[in-house]
Amino acid sequence: MNLADHDRPLNARGKADAPRIGRLLRRLDLTPDLIITSSAERALATAESVALHSGHERALTVTRQLYHAEPPAYLAAVRQHARDEACVMVVGHNPGIAELVESLSGHYEPMPTAALAQFRLDIPGWHALTEEAPATLLDVWRPRELGDS
């Protein structure tokens, strides 16, 4: 049976890596206040697993807007859904996620499945988030580089 790309499930590597990223977030006290995810099955499964293992207790914000999205769509989704949350996580797809990280940081970072980039943004509120917003890339975590967690 051929599934549409949007309906493809998370693969075995993703099923193993997403909980590791969630546990990392919990350990670093970086549990997201808001998680915005693509509606694609594999992104949604990733977001659900990260939420469970990070201690995130709110409902996920699910939007088709992030499926095959380019950086402006990711930023628009954050502006649309984030209010007073301090820590917002966006779960999406490549190449858009890698392009977003590059756009905000000014340099390319490989973003394999379940990778996580952390930014500090010098903005007055989420409404001011643009590709030109002052952003500092604080860290990038890739599951293969984490070791056991």
What whole-number distance in Å separates Cα of residue 38 and Cα of residue 66?
5
Q: pLDDT digits over 70-102, tens only?
A: 999 999 999 999 999 999 999 999 999 999 999
Q: pLDDT digits over 18-77, tens only?
A: 999 999 999 999 999 999 999 999 999 999 999 999 999 999 999 999 999 999 999 999
Q: pLDDT digits over 130-144, tens only?
A: 999 999 999 999 999
Q: Structural domain of residue 85, as residue ranges?
A: 5-145
Number of domains, the chain: 1
With cut-offs at 50, 70 and 90, classify the pLDDT of residue 2. confident
CATH number of 136's domain: 3.40.50.1240
Contacts of 18 (CB under 8 A, 6+ apart): 10, 45, 46, 49, 50, 53, 114
